[in-house]
Amino acid sequence: GVFGRRLNIWNLSCRTLTQCFDLGEDSVPLNVRFLHCPDAAEGYVACLLSGVIYRFYKCERDNWAVEEVIRIPPKDVSGWIMPKMPAFIADMLISPDDRFLYISNWLHGDIRQYELSKNCKPRLVGQVFVGGSILRGGPVTVCRDEELKCQPEPLVVKCKRIYGGPCKMQLSLDGRRLYVTNSFYSTWDKQFYPNMVRGLCRWVAVPGAVPPMPGVRRARLALGKDPTGPCLAHDIRFLGGDATS
């Protein structure tokens, strides 16, 4: 009962609320993305704490409908603030050609790539871990996991351990380069990833976004030594255009 739970449909011409969808208590519908095709009256909304992604689409008589298409299950853990660690969908992108949907899971630590097809549920085609809170050898032990058989290994780039979890993403117009930051909100960064805030790593870039994702190369741009002080990178924009253009 603390966070948001509704997806609202507004008529901008007359500035009125026309429909309202209840997505569940504390679901926190955070990211809304429409397909890029101008003739497609549909899109997706990602819920921050429930790990659920809904597809919304226009029906007859100008009404809209919503259906659940993706659900990332929580993990039973020990050594964390709660016995269950939810999927924390910090960001969602749709490729410019409307073929793929990408999500970043800030707590679990993975970036997921789903293939989109009309009127069908998205199909998981790629997954790569770039940090997170469930890495092997850390303070958190995964007791039960519906998806993974073992905890993922820590991410090391150029002999340096990468801390934090994947947050905001940006995809190039050709769909071949995906970049991701690891700062969600400074207060939460300090709580969940204190090593990241100390300047060990501010920005993780993941070049190569075409399937399969697990074999991509990784680069790193550290902003801890910025002349004006340590920076926490949150959002990304490309000068020549990107997936959110």
The per-residue DSSP string of the chain comes to --S--EEEEEETTTTEEEEEEE--TT--EEEEEE-SSTT--EEEEEETTT-EEEEEEE-GGG-EEEEEEEEPPPEEEESSSSSEE---EEEEEE-TTSSEEEEEETTT-EEEEEE--TTS--EEEEEEE-S-S--TTSS-EEEE-SS-SSPPPPPEETTEE--S----EEEBTTS-EEEEE--S-HHHHHHH-HHIIIII-SEEEEE--SSPGGG---EEE--TT-TTS---------TT-BTT-
pLDDT at residue number 149: 93
Q: Where is average pLDDT lowest: 51-55, 93-97, 130-134, 184-188?
A: 184-188
pLDDT at residue number 216: 47
pLDDT at residue number 219: 55
pLDDT at residue number 186: 83
Average pLDDT across the chain, whole number: 85
Query: Do 103 and 111 meet the contact criterion of CB atoms below 8 Å apart?
Result: yes
pLDDT at residue number 202: 44
pLDDT at residue number 217: 52
For residue 212, say if its preceding peptide bond is cis, omega within 30 degrees of 0: yes
Q: Which residues contact 120 (CB under 8 A, 6 or more apart)?
A: none
Hey, CA dihedral for 128, 130, 136, 141, is it positive or negative?
A: negative
The whole-angstrom separation of Cα 89 and Cα 100 is: 16
Average pLDDT on 133-147 reads 94
Neighbour tally for 18: CB within 10 Å: 12
Give yes or no for residue 78 having a pLDDT over 90. Answer: yes
pLDDT digits (tens, 9 = 90+) for 154-188: 887 777 777 888 998 988 888 878 888 888 888 88
Query: Do 219 and 157 meet the contact criterion of CB atoms below 8 Å apart?
Result: yes
pTM of the predicted model as reported, rounded to 2 decimal places: 0.87
The β-bridge relationship of strands 84-85 and 89-94 is: unpaired
Average pLDDT on 138-146 reads 95
* Residue 220 pLDDT grade (very low, low, confident, very high; cuts 50, 70, 90): low
Average pLDDT on 189-204 reads 69
pLDDT at residue number 212: 52
Specify the amino acid at residue 76.
Answer: D
* C-alpha triplet 173, 175, 181: angle, nearest 5°: 90
Give yes or no for residue 83 having a pLDDT over 80. Answer: yes
Give yes or no for residue 58 having a pLDDT over 70. Answer: yes
